[in-house]
């Protein structure tokens, strides 16, 4: 439980951080809250020679109002998401999901940026980001790029982020009055990753579901967008029958790894059950 040797850098500005990343290439790794990276280093699964700590870069922290968007600094910790009135007002799914991540200690250090960049299918924010149509702002030696969350995840621990890039901000469109949302996560105990979880964001036009995103956590190599499940609901009046069909479609795309949380069958069924519950609650909330 002791990491290998590494050098520690604590740049004060984003430009310095990017420069250091450029300098050390694949030997460098950005440190945010450290709650995913440090455990891997202690097990010596990761042995970066250079750690570039982003914690001193103040600009990367905090939640700002961007009009019809909410702008979240990559270094904002989970507890600050939970405490952000702006998020509860404009995009309540994010703090609601943050409350279900890990435990208070981890949430005090762990950042939303680290959670989305790590590429761990067990992390909760990737599915949430897909469900809320987030855009990731990343900065590298060549400047800034904007990447939609949907499509960002390529595989386990593998995203569109280049080695020399830093995620600086997450932009999320504000919810409308007719938006309903829910995140249902089954876990064994507090501090555990999901056995399976489902994020649902939808809009109702009268009784008709006019827009819907469904994304699943920890039932595949990455967070999964359940597009066929969405298609079942889109343009329809959502009832128990359709919910069941959507759940079945969501289950059909699950490809979870067996572990002590359960086998493939259990996790797939739980993804279905979490999806049922999330849709029901989202519809109820959309109705107001």
Partner 1 sequence: MAATADTLERENKLEGIGCKRKRKEDGRFIQGKGSYVDDVKLPGMLFADFVRSPHAHARIKSIRKERALALPGVHAVLTADDLKPLNLHWMPTLAGDTQAVLADEKVAFQMQEVAMVVADDRYIAADATELVEVEYEELPAIVDPHKAMDADAPVIREDIAGKAEAGQGKREHPNHIFSWEVGDKDGTDRAFEAAEVTVAQEMVNQRVHPCPLETCGCVASFDKARGELTVYITSQAPHVVRTVVSMLSGVPESKVRIISPDIGGGFGNKVGVYPGYVVAIVASIVLGRPVKWIEDRTENLSTTAFARDYHMVGELAADKDGRIKAMRVNVLADHGAFNAHAQPTKWPAGFFSVCTGSYDIPYAHARVNGVYTNKAPGGVAYRCSFRVTEAVYVIERMIDVLAQKLGMDPAEIRLRNFVKKEQFPYQSALDWEYDSGDYETALRKVMEAVDYPALRKEQAEKRSRGELMGIGLCTFTEIVGAGPSKACDILGVGMFDSAEIRVHPTGSVIARMGTITQGQGHQTTYAQIIASELGIPSEEIQIEEGDTSTAPYGLGTYGSRSTPVGGAATAVAARKIRDKARKIAAHLLEVSENDLDWEVDRFKVKGVPGQEKTMKEVAWAAYNNVPEGMEMGLEAVDYYDPPNFTYPFGAYLCVVDIDKHTGETKVRRFYALDDCGTRINPMIIEGQIHGGLNEAFAVAMGQQLVFDEAGNILGNTLMDYFLPTFVETPHWELDHTVTPSPHHPIGAKGVAESPHVGGIPCFSNAVNDAFAHLGVTHVDMPHSAYNVWKTVHRLGLDKPSAA
34 touches ligand FAD by CB under 6 A: yes
2, 68, 177, 206: residue in contact with partner 1 (rule CB under 8 A): 2
Report 22-81 residues binding partner 1 (CB under 8 A). Answer: 44
φ, ψ for residue 63, nearest 5 deg = -115, 130
32 touches ligand FAD by CB under 6 A: yes
What order do you get walking across the sheet with 69-73 strand by strand? 63-66, 69-73, 166-173, 135-140, 143-148
φ, ψ for residue 233, nearest 5 deg = -90, -30
96 touches ligand FAD by CB under 6 A: no
CB of 17 closer than 8 Å to CB of 32: no
166 touches ligand FAD by CB under 6 A: yes
115, 169, 203, 230: residue in contact with ligand FAD (rule CB under 6 A): 115
**Shorter beta-carbon distance to ligand FAD: residue 125 or 261:** 125
Q: List the beta strands (DSSP E) in the chain.
A: 7-9, 28-31, 50-53, 63-66, 69-73, 135-140, 143-148, 153-155, 158-159, 166-173, 179-186, 196-205, 208-217, 224-225
Helix, strand or coil for residue 152? coil
115: partner contacted, choices partner 1, ligand FAD, none (Cβ within 5-8 A by kind): ligand FAD
Beta carbon of residue 258, minimum distance to partner 1 (angstroms, whole number): 11
72 beta partners: 63, 170
249 touches ligand FAD by CB under 6 A: no
Beta carbon of residue 182, minimum distance to ligand FAD (angstroms, whole number): 17
Closest CA to 30 of 172, 168, 170: 168
Query: How far is C-alpha 16 from the geometric centre of its chain's CA atoms?
Result: 27
Residues that bind ligand FAD (CB under 6 A): 29-37, 39, 54, 74, 101-102, 106, 110-111, 113-115, 117-118, 123-125, 161, 166-167, 191, 193
Residues that bind partner 1 (CB under 8 A): 1-2, 4-5, 44, 103, 186, 188-193, 195, 240-241, 243-244, 247, 260-262, 265-266, 269-270, 272-273, 276
């Amino acid at each position: 439980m002791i990491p290998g040797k590494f050098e520690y850098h604590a740049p004060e500005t984003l430009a310095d951080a990017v420069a250091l990343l450029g300098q050390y290439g694949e030997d460098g790794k950005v440190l945010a809250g450290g709650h995913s990276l440090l455990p891997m280093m202690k097990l010596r699964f990761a042995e970066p020679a250079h750690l570039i700590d982003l914690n001193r870069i103040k600009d990367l922290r905090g939640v700002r109002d961007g009009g019809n968007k909410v702008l979240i600094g990559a270094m904002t910790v989970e507890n600050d998401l939970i405490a952000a009135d702006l998020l509860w007002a404009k995009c309540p799914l994010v703090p609601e999901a943050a409350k279900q991540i890990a435990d208070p200690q981890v949430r005090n250090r762990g950042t939303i940026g680290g959670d989305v960049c790590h590429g761990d299918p067990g992390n909760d924010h990737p599915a949430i980001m897909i469900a809320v149509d987030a855009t990731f702002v990343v900065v590298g030696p060549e400047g800034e790029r904007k990447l939609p969350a949907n499509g960002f995840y390529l595989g386990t621990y593998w995203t569109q982020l280049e080695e020399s890039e830093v995620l600086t901000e997450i932009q999320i469109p504000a919810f409308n009055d007719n938006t309903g949302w829910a995140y249902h996560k089954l876990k064994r105990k507090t501090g555990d990753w999901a056995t399976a979880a489902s994020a649902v964001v939808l809009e109702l036009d009268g009784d008709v579901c006019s827009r819907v995103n469904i994304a699943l956590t920890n039932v595949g190599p990455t967070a999964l967008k359940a597009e066929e499940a969405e298609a079942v609901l889109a343009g329809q009046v959502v009832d128990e029958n359709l919910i069941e069909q959507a759940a079945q479609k969501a289950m059909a795309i699950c490809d979870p790894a067996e572990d002590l949380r359960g086998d493939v069958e259990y996790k797939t069924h739980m993804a279905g059950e979490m999806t049922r519950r999330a849709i029901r609650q989202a519809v109820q909330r959309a109705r107001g």
